[in-house]
Homo-oligomer: A and B are copies of this chain.
Amino acid sequence: MTKTKPAFKPTQIARAGLSKIIEPNDPTGSALVAIAGPIEAYRIITTYTGTTPPTEQQQVSEFLDDTETPRADRKLDAGLERWKARAALADPAHDLDTMALLGGGMLTPEDEEWPEQFDALGPAAPLALWWRGNGNVGILSHPERLLAVVGSRDATEYGRQVTSDIVSGVVGRGITVLSGGAYGIDACAHAAALDAGRLGVEDGVPAFPPTIAVMAGGLDRYYPEGNTELLRSIQRAALIIAEVAPGTTPTRWRFLARNRVIAALCAGTLVTEARWRSGALSTARHAAGIGRELGAVPGSIYSANSAGCHRLLREAAAIPVTDAAEALELIKVSAPATSGGTADEDIRDYDGLNVQDLLLLDALPNNRPRSPDELAATAGLGIGAVLGGLSRLAGRGLARSTGEAWSRAYPG
A22-33 near B? 1/0 per residue, CB < 8 Å: 110000000000
A404 to chain B, nearest CB (A): 16
Bound: A314/B278 CA distance, A:
23
Task: List residues of chain B with CB within 8 A of the CB of A341.
Answer: 276
A188 close to chain B: CB less than 8 A: no
A400 close to chain B: CB less than 8 A: no
Residue in B307, B313, B342 whose CB lies within 8 Å of A277: B342
A71 to chain B, nearest CB (A): 13
Bound: A383/B85 CA distance, A:
9
Known pairs A300-B299, A340-B276, A342-B276; A86 contacts B256 (CB<8 A): no
Instruction: Determine whether the beta carbon of B83 is less than 8 Å from that of A380.
Output: yes
A325-360 near B? 1/0 per residue, CB < 8 Å: 010000000000001111111111010000100110
Q: Which of A346, A363, A381 gathers most chain B CB within 10 Å?
A: A346
A253 close to chain B: CB less than 8 A: yes
A323 to chain B, nearest CB (A): 7
Task: List residues of chain B with CB within 8 A of the CB of A86.
Answer: 377, 380
Instruction: Determine whether the beta carbon of B373 is less than 8 Å from that of A85.
Output: yes
For the complex formed by this chain, how many copies does it contain in all? 2
A174 close to chain B: CB less than 8 A: no
Within 8 A of B (CB), among A305-321: 306-307, 310-311, 313-314, 319-320
Task: List residues of chain B with CB within 8 A of the CB of A363.
Answer: 251
A282 close to chain B: CB less than 8 A: yes
A233-255 near B? 1/0 per residue, CB < 8 Å: 00000000000000000011111
A364-395 near B? 1/0 per residue, CB < 8 Å: 00000000010011001111110000000000
A81 close to chain B: CB less than 8 A: yes
A148 close to chain B: CB less than 8 A: no
Residues in chain A within 8 A of chain B (CB atoms):
21-23, 78, 81-86, 88-89, 152-154, 158, 161-162, 251-256, 275-279, 282, 297-302, 304, 306-307, 310-311, 313-314, 319-320, 322-323, 326, 339-348, 350, 355, 358-359, 361-363, 373, 376-377, 380-385
* The 3 residue pairs across chains A and B that have the minimum distance between CB atoms: A298-B298, A251-B362, A85-B377
